[in-house]
């Protein structure tokens, strides 16, 4: 049987109810997971290691480096696939981070979470883990992806692209959805059936290529600012000592930057603040709408932003992936951020938005 390594980071999938408080807490060890779900050992020789036991909202850039090194170590030791158990709140951030950090990854690295703690009868952890295991063992996929429930029932899980997925519900078991694209595959764990739904990276594509770690500078300060009505210039200038900023633009690519009447004089100040930031750091954009592509050429306010030096026109990255990509570029390609941010490196930018990729 193939060897699969399970790396644990905590989160709900590694949690149980703390009856002293009534709340859920990350407490499981790597051996606890195997005891709870012994059926996964039917598919492969399992190696299980605890990397961290923490809720995913506590993660920082340094943890991405820790995880990338742990993945590299397991691959060098002979693992033919990696499952990474992870909390769901920032699972999509970590999926994107590892996708960028693990350059030329030639084995599957599948992130798995759950929306119900593993000691509950309604847990989705077992199905997600088993589906991820079946996908690794029975497919030729290579790269980083996410495995979570497709819908309310326990029949199917989806394999989702690392850089184009997002948690879209606080509590549903099918909270993760692909954005502007299709899922990679559907896995029916009972029928042991895998149906590929879109193009994907295959192991054969990486013959002769060696895995290379491109890690994060954990000292970087990257901001993420959501545009809204009634904005003030001071909101932008709060980031003046940061290394980079992602702005979630309104609509197709707008900020309130034009004075149109006696109540909008602050908008002129806001535009000046944006231009001041651009002089000192890369300021990139993403669509606040989540779906669709930025096009700042359509309306005059958008063209002001292009002229001001904002980066990312015609991209459709989620804000979270834009945040991770900017941090990774500043860590590894600082001089080329302007050129590379709008270039598709890991499947994070679509050539075109798929019609069936909206709210599926």
Distance, in Å, from the CA atom of 114 to the CA atom of 52, rounded to the nearest integer, reads 17
Residues 6 or more apart whose Cβ sits within 8 Å of residue 57 = 87, 89, 90
- Name, in order, each residue with C-beta under 8 angstroms of 219's C-beta and a sequence gap of 6 or more: none
Out of 9, 85, 88, 318, which one is annotated catalytic? 88
DSSP class of residue 211 equals P
Catalytic residue among 89, 119, 218, 295: 89
The helix (H) or strand (E) run that includes residue 96 is helix 91-101
Q: Which residues make Cβ contacts (< 8 Å) with residue 138, sequence separation at least 6?
A: 192, 194
Distance (Å) of CA 43 to CA 49, 89, 276: 18, 28, 56
Cβ proximity of 242 and 281 under 8 Å: yes
Place of tokens 């063992």: 137
Annotation marks residue 85 as catalytic: no
Q: Catalytic: which of 12, 94, 123, 318?
A: 12
Q: Of the residues 164, 167, 293, 325, which is catalytic?
A: 167
Sign of the alpha-carbon dihedral angle for 347, 348, 353, 358: positive
Tokens 């015609």 map to which residue?
314
DSSP 357: G
Q: Is 73 labeled as catalytic in the residue annotation? A: no
Is 257 annotated in the active site? no
Return left, alpha or beta for 219; rule: phi > 0 is left, psi -120 to 50 is alpha, else beta.
Answer: alpha
The verdict on whether 335 is a catalytic residue reads no
Task: State the catalytic residues.
Answer: 12, 88-89, 167
């Amino acid at each position: 049987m193939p060897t699969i390594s399970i790396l644990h980071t905590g989160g709900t999938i590694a949690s149980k109810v703390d009856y002293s408080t009534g709340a859920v807490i990350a407490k499981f060890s790597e051996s606890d997971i195997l005891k709870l779900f012994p059926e996964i050992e039917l598919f492969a020789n399992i190696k299980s290691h605890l990397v961290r036991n923490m809720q995913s909202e506590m993660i920082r850039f340094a943890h991405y480096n820790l995880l990338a090194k742990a993945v590299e170590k397991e691959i060098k030791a002979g693992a033919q696939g990696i499952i990474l158990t992870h909390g769901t709140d920032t699972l999509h951030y970590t999926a994107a981070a590892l996708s960028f950090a693990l350059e030329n990854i030639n084995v599957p690295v599948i992130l798995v979470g759950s929306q119900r703690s593993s000691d509950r009868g309604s847990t989705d952890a077992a199905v997600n883990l088993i589906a991820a295991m079946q996908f690794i063992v029975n497919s030729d996929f290579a790269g980083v992806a996410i495995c979570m429930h497709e819908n309310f029932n326990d029949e199917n899980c989806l394999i989702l692209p690392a850089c184009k997925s997002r948690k879209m519900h606080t509590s549903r078991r099918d909270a993760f959805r692909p954005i502007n694209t299709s899922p990679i595959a559907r896995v029916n764990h009972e029928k042991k059936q895998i149906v590929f739904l879109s193009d994907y990276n295959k192991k054969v594509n990486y013959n002769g290529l060696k895995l290379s770690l491109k890690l994060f500078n954990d000292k970087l300060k990257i901001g993420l600012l959501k545009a809204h009505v009634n904005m003030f210039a001071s909101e932008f200038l709060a980031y003046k000592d940061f290394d980079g900023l992602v702005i979630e633009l309104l609509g197709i690519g707008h900020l309130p930057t034009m004075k149109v009447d006696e109540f909008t004089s602050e908008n002129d100040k806001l535009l000046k603040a944006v231009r001041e930031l651009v002089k000192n750091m890369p300021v990139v954009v993403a669509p606040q709408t989540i779906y669709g592509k930025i096009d700042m050429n359509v309306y005059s306010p958008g063209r002001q932003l292009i002229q001001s030096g904002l980066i990312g026109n015609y991209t459709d990255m989620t804000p979270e992936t834009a945040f991770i990509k900017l941090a990774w570029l500043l860590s590894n390609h600082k001089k080329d951020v302007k050129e590379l941010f709008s270039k598709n490196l890991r499947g994070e930018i679509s050539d075109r938005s798929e019609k069936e990729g909206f709210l599926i």
